[in-house]
Amino acid sequence: MKLGRFGQDRIGVIEGADVIDVSAALDVVPPLAWPSPSGDALVTRLDEVLAAARRLLPAGHRQGLDDVRWRSPVANPSKIVGAPVNYQKHLAESRGDRGIHHGGDVKTIDVCGLFLKATSSLVGAAEGVALRFPERRNDHEVELVAVIGKAADRVPRARALDYVAGYAIGLDMTVRGTEDRSFRKSVDSYTVLGPWLTTADEVGDPGNLDLQLYVNEQLRQESNTRYLIYDVARLIEYASSFYTLYPGDLIMTGTPEGVGPVQPGDRIVARIAGLGELRVEVRSA
Ligand code: MN
């Protein structure tokens, strides 16, 4: 099933070119309590939400996919986990002369580990990317994102995919510069997720998905998740060996080669097979 969030916190099921409003399914999500448990409340109850959504589908209001404003399908992740240089060819370009120096010292994932992005950086497709430092280089990175479905603490890779609720397309936007990676990637709007969540059962093998990113209709990035250095299962094993992953936590799996700059006014289109198309406008903050 494909479940999205749009407009004023409506949720809908995507069928073909339509989104069907099933917002009444949110009745199964408990109201806000304090202190709230770690993790996203909707993803925590995702099975119940999907069951309620199925019941609501026949009578749900239908709209075209382009007629709504898509927001992040996950509202409140407790963590956004990033994977540095996780495609071999991106590692090569990062070390090479194409102008991506990561402070001149590129370490591999097994050496430097994973990083975290501020959860406040998360937006959906309709919100767009707002460049706070347009005078500096701001790069696009298209990434497969795994959404964690249940608490995962020291999970071995053989069972890791059992902890994935679904997948979405992610943009891991970056200001280049000397500051720490997590700082440069945590600008408001520098994590785009969407256009919706596709449940894991519909995706099957996350290790064989074509992905592309276009800027102003020009192809910039094109690869397949089979070229990941650490695949989704290994990333979950690695992350959960250090900290517990909670429902709704986002595992951004890293970006392939072709990373490049964007300017205000650019239009980014990112595609991953089976997950839809993420259309994002870039502007000044
Ligand atoms: Mn990245």
pTM for the full predicted model: 0.96
pLDDT tens-digit series, residues 160-190 = 999 999 999 999 999 999 999 999 999 999 9
> Could you tell me the distance, in angstroms and rounded to a whole number, from the CA of residue 194 to the centre of ligand 1?
16
pLDDT tens-digit series, residues 5-14 = 999 999 999 9
Q: Which two tokens stand for residue 191?
A: 């994590």
> Could you tell me the distance, in angstroms and rounded to a whole number, from the CA of residue 119 to the centre of ligand 1?
15
> Could you tell me the distance, in angstroms and rounded to a whole number, from the CA of residue 259 to the centre of ligand 1?
10
- Edge-to-edge strand ranges of the sheet holding 174-175: 174-175, 138-140, 260-261
> Could you tell me the distance, in angstroms and rounded to a whole number, from the CA of residue 174 to the centre of ligand 1?
8
> Could you tell me the distance, in angstroms and rounded to a whole number, from the CA of residue 7 to the centre of ligand 1?
27
Given a cut of 90, whether residue 223 has pLDDT beyond it is yes
The three-state (H, E, C) secondary structure of 122-173, written as one string: EECHHHCEEECCCCCCEEECEEEEEEECCCECCCCHHHHHHHEEEEEEEEEC
Q: What is the pLDDT of residue 251?
A: 98
Q: What is the pLDDT of residue 88?
A: 84
Q: What is the pLDDT of residue 283?
A: 97
pLDDT class of 101 with cuts at 50, 70, 90? low
Q: What is the mean pLDDT of the chain?
A: 95
Closest CA to 170 of 150, 148, 140: 140
Q: Which two tokens stand for residue 7?
A: 């407009």
Structural contact between residues 134 and 284, judged by C-beta atoms closer than 8 angstroms: yes
> Could you tell me the distance, in angstroms and rounded to a whole number, from the CA of residue 58 to the centre of ligand 1?
39
Given a cut of 70, whether residue 196 has pLDDT beyond it is yes
Give the Cα separation of 265 and 283 in Å (integer).
6
Average pLDDT over residues 64-82: 98
> Could you tell me the distance, in angstroms and rounded to a whole number, from the CA of residue 4 to the centre of ligand 1?
23
> Could you tell me the distance, in angstroms and rounded to a whole number, from the CA of residue 30 to the centre of ligand 1?
33
Beta pairing, strands 142-148 & 164-172: antiparallel
Average pLDDT over residues 29-33: 88
Give the Cα separation of 107 and 84 in Å (integer).
8
